Chain A
Amino acid sequence: MTDVRIAGVGLTKFGSHPERTGRDLFAEAALAAREDAGVSRDDYEELFYGNFMGELAEKQGHQGPVMAEAAGLDCPATRYEQACASAGVAFRQAVATIRSGAADVVLAGGMERMNNLGTAEVTQSLAIAADELFEVRAGVTFPGAYALMARAYFDAFGGDSEDLAHIAVKNHANAMQNDYAQFHREITVDDALESPVVADPLSLYDACPITDGASAVVLVSDDYAERHGLDAPVSVTGSGQGGDKAALQDRPHLARTPAATKPPTPPTQTPVSAPTTWTWPRSTTASPSPRCSRSNRSASTTTAKVSARPPAARRPATATSR
C-alpha cells in the first residue's frame, strides 16, 4: 500500500459570489491546486468531486465532466453527494484509489454555490439532507435540526445559548487571520446573544452564513512524488468515515454523534514520524455548507489525518517501497 502525498492545494475565497457559476468557482480552486502541484496534465487519472445542491442551485446534475472541463482535465470524473461531507468523501475516495494502486494522480475537491438563491430557497435546499418524509414534512430545517440537537445537548450535558455565543465569537476572531474567510469582523458575546433567532435556541451567529466557494487538492502516490521530484512533504496518514441513521428520530442519541468518533476505516497505515499531525476536515469537507462539520448532523462524517514532514526528512525513493 503506497503512501498518499498532497502535491498541491487550491481554495477560493469563501463568501457571497452570487454572480459566479459553480464551474468558475471550481476552476479557480482546481487551477490553483494544479499550479501548486506542478503535475503534468496528462498524468491526472481521476477527478473525484463533491457537491451537495447543484441540481437546486444551478439546475446542473452530472457535474463530474462539467468540472473536469473547468479544471482543464481530460480524465474520468465522478461526483460524490453526501450532504456536507460531499467533498470529504471525494477526498477519501481519492486516497483509497491511490492507496490501492489504481491511480497515481487524482484531483479531489468540491464546490458549492448558494447565494444565487434567496434565503428561503437555500433553507429549503439544505433541508433536503434531512429525511423528506419524516423530518422535512414536519418543518425540520437545517438550523432546526441542529436546534433540536442543541436543546437535547443542553438537557443532557448542561450549557446554554451563552456558551454557544462564545463559539461564534471565537470563530469570528479566528477569521481575522484567514484571508479565505467569509467575514473579517470581530463580534462580542452580546452581539451573538442579541442576534435574530433562526431556530430556537440557535440564533443568527450560531448558524453558518450562506457561502459560495470551492476547494481542490492534488493527491499523488509516494512513488509518483519521488519519481518526479515533487515538493510534497505532507502525507495523508489516515482517513475515516462513520455513519448513522438519516433521521434524528431514528438515532439512539439526540445529543451525541457517535458517527464522528468511529475508528478510521480501513485501518490507517503506520504513520510516518511527523513533526505535526492534525485533523483536516476544513478545506476538504464541503465547507460552503459547514453546518454539518460543526455539529456532525450529517449522517456521514469524514475526517482525514495528514502529517507534514520537512522535505529534508523525506526518505530516498529506495526506502519508500513497501
Chain B
Amino acid sequence: MTDTGYDEWLAAIADGEGYYLACPDGHGSLPPRRSCPHCGAAELTEEPLPATGEILTFTEVHVPAPDFADEAPYVTAIASFGPVKLTGVVRDLPADEVDLGTTVSVGVDENATTGESLLVFLPASE
C-alpha cells in the first residue's frame, strides 16, 4: 500500500532528515496534512525534527494484534520531539530500562511480523 505524504515522511526519518509541519502560530503536526489540526491554518511549512525526544509514556504490550505477533512483548511509547509527539516501538533498550523522561532518537526499522516499515525509538546518550 502506498500512503503518499506519510511514506515520504517515514523515508525522510529513515534518512536522518525527519521533519514536522509547522503553522504560522508554531503548532506542530505530521503529514499528510493540508491544514493545522490545532488552529486550521492552511500555511504549513516543513521544519526539521529535533534529533532527540523524551519519552512521555509507554506500555509493554503482551497481547498483540496479529500484525505484531512476532514482536510481542514489545514496548510502544509516546515521545515528545519539540512541538510534536511521536508514537513508536522502543528498540535496543530492555523494557525495564525504559522510563518516563528517557531520551531517545527516532528511526525506522522493520516490523518483524509484516516486514513493513516501523517507526522506532532508540536510546540516545546526551
Contact = CB atoms under 8 A, between A and B. Distances in A.
A is bound by B: yes
Interface string A109-151: 0000000000111011001000001111111110110011101
Contacts of B118: 137-138
Contacts of A162: none
Interface stretch (B11-19, B42-50, B53-61): B53-61
A141 B85 contact: no
Contact of A197 (B62, B69, B76, B84): B62
User: Interface size bucket, B side?
Assistant: 35 or more
A135 B65 contact: no
A152 B68 contact: no
Contacts, number: 100
Interface in A179-229: 196-202
B63 A250 contact: no
A155 interface: yes
B22 interface: no
A198 B87 contact: no
B94 to A, nearest CB: 13
Interface string B67-109: 1110100101010000011111100000100001000000000
Interface string B102-123: 0000000001000010110000
Interface string A79-123: 000000000000000000000000000000000000000011101
Nearest to B60: A200
Given A138-B119, A151-B59, A248 B37 contact: no
Contacts of B74: 139
Interface string B1-35: 00100100000000000000000000001100000
Contacts of A133: 3, 6
A98 B1 CA distance: 44
5 contacts: A119-B63, A137-B116, A152-B56, A198-B62, A199-B63
Interface of A: 119-121, 123-124, 127, 133-141, 143-144, 147-149, 151-152, 155, 196-202, 245, 247-250, 254
Given A139-B71, A200-B59, 10 more contacts: A139-B65, A139-B76, A140-B76, A143-B63, A148-B78, A151-B58, A200-B62, A200-B95, A249-B78, A249-B86
